[in-house]
Every structure is written in C-alpha cells, then in structure tokens.
Structure 1
Amino acid sequence: MKQLLSIIAHNRPGVLSKITGLISRRGYNIDSLMSGTTEKPGYARLTITVDADDRTVDQISRQVEKISEVEKITVLKKETSALRSMLLIKVHAGDKRMEILQLAAAFRSHAIDITGDSMTFVNTGSEDKLHAFVNALRRYGIVEMVQTGVVALARGDEALILDGSRYEWPEQYDTVGGK
C-alpha cells in the first residue's frame, strides 16, 4: 500500500542524501520524493511515497526521526490530506489541435507551448487524474512527458509546523517577484 511520509528537516547539503540513504539501506524503495522550502526559513519539507505496510512505515519513520537534521516526521493518510502531482506532457498536434485543446480543457489542463507540430500541457491533480489524461492523449502520440512526485499537506487545521510560526514566509518570498 502506498504511504506518504511528510518530513520537516534542516535545508542543508547532505540531509536529503542521509534520509534517502537510510531508507534505501533498509531495503525499501522510494516511489516518489519531493522536496521544497517551507514557511520557516532554513527548513525543507520532504514528501516521500513508499509502497509499504503500516508496520514498515512505522519502522522507517522511527529510523528517519533519529537523523539529527530531521525536526518532525508524520505519516499522512490519503483520506485526510490534500495531495497533488504535476504533469508536463508534449503531444503531436497535426490537424487535431482543436480536438486536443477541448480534451485538455475537460481535464483542466493548460497549454504552455504550441508549435507547428506539437503542443505541451501542464496539469495538476491526483495521480489517477493525471494517468487518465495521459491515456486520453495516447492516440495523438506522446512525444515526451514528465510527472512529479506527490506533494501533500494535512487537510483542515492540522499542520506539521515547528513552533507556531505558521505564517512566517521564507526570505525569498519577502519581496514582490522574489529576489
């Protein structure tokens, strides 16, 4: 069963390697991994998807928690979390442009590049939605595609925060347009 680990760790060189190395050394495969800045400067949030039972995920969590740079870790349940992935996909367009655009609109996908022979779309959503979009586009000919791993947050008021500084933004977001 796919399970999600949400980890808050110091955003320093080598921390990601320590976490993934520990998981792989224990013989577990990481299905997807996403890492990014948080509301707290100096910290990163990692969302790791593993295919494991509850007992195994508990073991992984306890081991990862021992890494000194890891501040917090929780297992997110799909039913109580907001989950999203992103897909970039390029398809052959030919004379089917309008048909493809209508199909993309049905999936709430956006064209981000249109050339003479191809169209590139971006789409976000659940993995099931993205797989359905890919399958719907197969008949036109997929040139290339890439899909991110899952990013996730708990729904409602629950939050994996460090010290109540819920609304503190990382420095790079302090000015309009970033640094």
Structure 2
Amino acid sequence: MSKIHVTTTINGDPVEYLCDAEETLLDVLRDHLGLTGSKEGCGTGDCGACSVTVDGRLVCSCLMLGAEAAGREIGTIEGMAKGDQLHPLQQKFIEHAALQCGICTPGILVAAKSLLDHNPDPSEEETRYWLAGNLCRCTGYDKIIRAVLDAAKDMREAS
C-alpha cells in the first residue's frame, strides 16, 4: 500500500508527513510527529482526550483520518504554551488543581481554549455545555469549570 503525502500546518508551523490511508490524525500526531499530548482514551470519539482544533473547529482526532489534515490548520495542546510561558488556561488548571492523572487534561485544555476563542465571556452553563464531550474520572468537573472561568476573566482583563 502506498503512503499518502500530507502538507498541513500544526500549531502555526508548516508540516509534511506520510501516512497510510487508514491512519487517524491522532496516530499521525503521536506516532509520526512525536506530538504525544493528545491521548487516546476511547478511540470512538466519546471521551475527548484526543481533542484538537481543525481550522478553528474542535474535533476528536481519533475520528479524523491523517490524510484529511491536508491543507488544514491543526491546533494541539503542544501549541498552547509559548516557550516557557504557559497559556492562562494551563496556569489556572494548576492553580485550581483541575488536573490529576493527565489523560483528559490535554483534550479539556484544547476544548476550553476553543471555547474562549469563540466566546471570551462564557457563563458557567455555556462552559459546562462546551466541555461536555470531555470525560474526566479523577477531578470532578467543578475545579475544571472554575479554572476555565477564572482564566476567561483574567484574559478579558488583560486585553
């Protein structure tokens, strides 16, 4: 079977890779590109651990083929921090103890960033709705929601 050549942009950088037709974007990110932040929790799009953005839209990378990334703008957890500077969401997750085992955290952070990119002033209800596709078995959701809302407030005040 021949490989598919893909040219895309990941976290603002141009990227080229070869993949098999049946490989998921999650497989490509982790196995070919060494971007291991996105996790496979279920492989069926039910848990959100593999969440990334594609052209600004939140998607489960386990449900998207790697070849479908051609010409698209992909955002992963690795693109959130800028050098040694954590994204405000990442900082607030630490401050609010909104993470434990780490399986769900990258997907939740990507989803939360996507929320704030679309709506910088979400209500608690909107935040809970937006993050409903991300499952966490360790922390409970209250700390996560509080961290997102606190980050949103700080980000609005900083702009």
Q: TM-score range by the shorter chain?
A: under 0.3
Q: Which structure has the bigger radius of gyration? A: 1
User: Which one has more relative contact order, counting CA pairs under 8 Å at least 6 apart?
Assistant: 1
Structure with the higher helix share, 1 or 2: 2
Structure-1-length-normalised TM-score: 0.23
Structure with the higher strand share, 1 or 2: 1
Structure-2-length-normalised TM-score: 0.25
